Amino acid sequence: MDKTDRLRELDKLYVWHPFTRMREWLEGEPLIIERAEGVYLIDTDGRRYIDGVSSLWVTVHGHRKRELDRAIKEQLRKVAHSTLLGLGNVPSILLAERLVRIAPKGLTKVFYSDNGSTAVEIALKLAFYYWQKRGLPEKKRFLAFTGAYHGDTIGTMSVGEIDVFVGRYRPLLFPSYRAPYPYCYRCPVGKTYPDCAIACLERLEAVLKRSHERIAACIIEPFVQGAAGMVVAPTGFLKGVRRLTKKYNVLLIADEVATGFGRTGRMFACQWDDVSPDLMCLAKGITGGYLPLAATLSTEAIFRAHLGTKRSPDAFYHGHTYTGNPLACSVALANLEVFEKERVLDRMQPVVELFSQLLEGFRELKHVGDVRYKGLMAGIELVEDKRTKKPYRVELRMGNRVCMKARDKGVIVRPLGDTIVVMPPLSIKKRELRALLSAIYESIREVTEGASR
Ligand SMILES: *Cc1c(COP(=O)(O)O)cnc(C)c1O
């Protein structure tokens, strides 16, 4: 038995994969990654694949980036882990200072955790307690958007809305208020952009007007709803959300877990609309895709609400064992240094330009209903009938079939339903980007036009 077969057998015996139909997995021949280099993943048989989804939206400067490898090695010579409960550590301090420096203004404090879901849970708890201390205890609910995804824990599922993920757990969840996200291809208020003048904001205002006394915070994925299928909001929507949340005395939580660290072409998506949220959640790209780390950034006001008084001191009673892990913080620092030294945000602009040009070409395909993108995040929505926008039957699993076809062409992508997600590392070269998109183009064509069922 060769190495790959043996590993496959062990994987099937012992590993339970996330968001995976294990029944199918056990019957398939899973691909096992052993190494990587730049934008390429390399499997146990030495085959190379372009990492078209940045290893689930995390890889920023490519794999095995020398500066990031080195940061971890250097930190290893000092200390791998030391707790933030009652102690400080060097990289967590330097990183916090740096994050505050690049964040939208008003965010001055950094609370660490280790994944996107915890970063959001923390924001929800901070927002809730803030109003308790401000003497408005009825403000204890959250307002979230249709199609939202904020993580897989109980609290984050409660503000999430994607039915396949959260539907079965609903009896466990707390209720949230809901307003429509501008999914312009299938407009929730039946209008067309830009004639609509972003009319969905009126629906948001209606909810706020009626219920603001019970709402602690509004949580949003700024500009791009990732898991909903890379739904891109028009410029001005986020600004409108900020204006309305201020008007109705509701905090704004920006979940930048997917959009942060250059993904949309700016460091943070909020910066496109010049918006400063009250809380900002960061994870995924924060370490350049190396180690699990997250941060929830807060305003001074929310921080101060948790101080208590001299006679009755208070604390934020929350913390994870690996909070502020020095190895993760040191590679996150190195990640930000690369952004600065290599002027990544400037240098990616021609690649972003090429990306949009190539993506526009997908509209000519017979079963591509919509193409949405911002920066280097894109979703290509497949439909059975372009004229009526009728989706494919779910059982056909067209998105999945396209991605499996792309794998044969040396590309790793993962669909969200029938939307093909394309999210390469920011470091991708033009030549690699062309290869990636042409493999996806051909895969869509072959699967949707070859096999009409
Ligand atoms: C991925 C994601 C999360 C959850 O992050 P995990 O690290 O998987 O827990 C939360 N919000 C958004 C917008 C995400 O894309």
- pLDDT tens for 35-87 read 999 999 999 999 999 999 999 999 999 999 999 999 999 999 999 999 999 99
pLDDT exceeds 80 at position 222: yes
Taking the centre of ligand 1 as the mean of its atom positions, its distance from the CA of residue 388, in whole angstroms, is 32
Q: Give one word for 135, left, alpha or beta, with left for phi > 0 and alpha for psi -120 to 50.
A: left
- Determine which residue's CA is closest to atom 11 belonging to ligand 1: 150
Please work out whether the CB of residue 224 comes within 6 Å of at least one atom of ligand 1.
no
Taking the centre of ligand 1 as the mean of its atom positions, its distance from the CA of residue 195, in whole angstroms, is 33
Please work out whether the CB of residue 381 comes within 6 Å of at least one atom of ligand 1.
no
pLDDT band at 1 (very low <50, low <70, confident <90, very high): confident
Please work out whether the CB of residue 116 comes within 6 Å of at least one atom of ligand 1.
yes
- pLDDT tens for 75-107 read 999 999 999 999 999 999 999 999 999 999 999
Mean pLDDT of 317-340: 97
Please work out whether the CB of residue 149 comes within 6 Å of at least one atom of ligand 1.
yes
pLDDT for 168: 95
> Alpha-carbon distance 232 to 224, whole Å?
5
For the chain, give the percent of residues with pLDDT over 70: 99
Q: By C-alpha distance, which of 161, 147, 151, 144 is closest to 117? A: 151
Taking the centre of ligand 1 as the mean of its atom positions, its distance from the CA of residue 116, in whole angstroms, is 4
With helix as H, strand as E and coil as C, how does 146-170 read? CCCCCCCCHHHHHHCCCHHHHHHHH
- pLDDT tens for 157-197 read 999 998 889 999 999 999 999 999 999 999 999 999 999 99
pLDDT for 433: 98
pLDDT exceeds 90 at position 453: no
Residue for token digits 């030391």? 82
Q: Which atom of ligand 1 is nearest to the CA of 117?
A: 9
For the chain, domains (ranges, CATH) are 31-61+345-451 (3.90.1150.10), 69-341 (3.40.640.10)
One-character DSSP codes across 208-257: HHHHGGGEEEEEE--SEETTTTSEEPPTTHHHHHHHHHHHTT-EEEEE-T
Please work out whether the CB of residue 89 comes within 6 Å of at least one atom of ligand 1.
no
Burial (CB < 10 A; 0-12, 13-18, 19+), residue 450, is exposed
pTM (global) more than 0.95:
yes
Least confident of 232-236, 378-382, 447-451: 447-451
DSSP state, residue 376: T
Please work out whether the CB of residue 259 comes within 6 Å of at least one atom of ligand 1.
no
| Type of residue found at 226 | G
pLDDT for 451: 54
> Alpha-carbon distance 248 to 201, whole Å?
13
Taking the centre of ligand 1 as the mean of its atom positions, its distance from the CA of residue 103, in whole angstroms, is 19
Q: By C-alpha distance, which of 193, 184, 194, 196 is closest to 146? A: 184
Q: By C-alpha distance, which of 300, 302, 278 is closest to 132? A: 302
